Amino acid sequence: MARFEFPEWTESFKKWVLLLAAGAPVYLLALWAYGLRPEAIRIGYQPKQPVPYSHALHVGELGLDCRYCHTTVERAAHAAVPPAQFCMNCHATIRTDSAALQPVRDSFASGAPIKWNRVHDLPDYVFFNHSAHVTRGVGCEECHGRIDLMEQVYQHAPLTMEWCLNCHRDPAPHLRPRELVTVMGYDPPGDRRELGRRLADNNKIAPPTNCSTCHR
């Protein structure tokens, strides 16, 4: 049997081919591994919503406090997405002809709810409680980012267990006085960590790290 010989003209790029053959699997593997990291998959997740509600407009420009709509955040586990009723508090008289608001008006009139797409989703075996965090002085923007700058909400933090534990093990840099939790762009003078440490001491904030804190 004759031995196969590569033609001459392949000589020039032989080393490139070898490099490609060696490097491509490594590259693809790295792409896959890095691509599947929570930081890659989760941060930036921005699903399309049935109503193009703009937090940048309502919170950023108009100055609505988070708790105006998410009324239960200090009392309950869920920071409930508001019913159409809350929107109609203003929009019964403002922008009554806007086509973008038609789903809201329809919902209010008929009683059929609006089906929002959840942005910040945790697995079913995790039980997160908003009130435990908000009442201790963890700001909304710590986990949700600068909502007041988002035209359409995207996920700002990976919300992985590792990420949560990093704060639970060292809450000081993420704490602020309780009355300032809804402030966006919080930047206190002085050392943030020192301020947080003092807040933790005064308010007896000692976040637990046992499993049953979140897994029940």
Partner 1 sequence: MPSLDPKNKTRDESAPNESVRNESVRNESASGSGTATHWRSLSDLVAQAEAAADGTGDGGGDAAVDAYLEQRIPDHDELFGDPLSRRRFMQIMGASVALSGAAGLTGCRWEEDHIIPESQRPEDYVPGVPKKYATSMSLGGAGYGLLVTAYDGRPIKVDGNPDHPNTGRGSTSFVQASLLELYDPDRSRVVERRRGRKPLPANWSDFDDAAVAWTQQHSATKGQGLRVLSEATTSPTILALRDELLRLYPQARWHEYEPLSRDNERAGTRIAFGRALRVQLQLAEARIIAAFDADLFGDHPDCLRLARDFATGRDPDENPTGMNRLYAVESGYSVTGGSADHRLPLRSELIKPFLMALEAKLQGGSPPPASKALADAKLQKFLSALAGDLIQNRGRSVIAVGPTQPPEVHALVARLNGLLGNSDTVVYTAEPDPDRPHHNDDIVQLASDMRKGAVDTLLILGGNPAYDAPADLDFAGALDQVDNSIHLSVYSDETSQACNWHVPRAHYLEAWGDTRTHDGTVTIAQPIVEPIFGGRSAIDVLKQFVGRGEEPAEHLVRAQILGAMGVTDPRPSEGEGAQEAHSRADTAWRRALHDGFAPRTAFATEKPQVQPFTLAPLTPTQGEARLKNGSLEVVFTVNTSTYDGRFANNAWLQEVPDFLTKMTWDNAALISPRTAADLGVKHEQMLEITLDGRALKVVAYVMPGQAPFSIALAVGQGRRRAGRVGGLVEEGIVPVGFDAYRLRSSKAPMVASGGNVRGLRDKYRLSLTVDHYNMDKIGQDGIAQRIPDLVREATLEDYKKPGYDINEEAHSEDIAILSNPTKADRANRSLFKEPRYDGYKWGMTTDLSKCTGCNACIIACQAENNIPVVGKEQVWRNREMHWLRIDRYFQGDPDDPRIAHQPVLCQQCENAPCEQVCPVGATLHSEEGLNDMAYNRCVGTRYCLNNCPYRVRRFNFLRWDWYKEMDEPRAQVRKLLFNPDVTVRSRGVMEKCTFCVQRIQNAKIQAKNNRVPIEDGVITTACQDACPTGAIVFGDLNDRRSRVAALHARPRAYAMLAELNARPRNVFLARIRNPHPELG
- Shortest Cβ 121–partner 1 spacing (Å): 5
Exposed/middle/buried for residue 87 (C-beta within 10 Å: 0-12, 13-18, 19+):
buried
- Shortest Cβ 102–partner 1 spacing (Å): 14
Question: Of the listed pieces 52-60, 93-101, 128-136, 183-191, which binds partner 1 according to CB under 8 A?
Answer: 128-136
Handedness of CA 164, 165, 169, 170 (dihedral sign): negative
202 contributes a contact to partner 1 by CB under 8 A: no
- Identify which of 165, 167, 143, 166 has the alpha carbon closest to the alpha carbon of residue 155: 143
| Residue 29, CA atoms < 13 Å, CB-side half-sphere | 5
41 contributes a contact to partner 1 by CB under 8 A: yes
54 vs 72 by CB, closer to partner 1:
72
Question: Of the listed pieces 11-19, 93-101, 119-127, 193-201, which binds partner 1 according to CB under 8 A?
Answer: 119-127
Binding site for partner 1 (CB under 8 A): 32, 35-36, 40-42, 45, 47, 72, 74-78, 80-85, 107-108, 110-118, 121, 123-125, 127, 129, 131-132, 135-136, 208, 210-213, 215-216
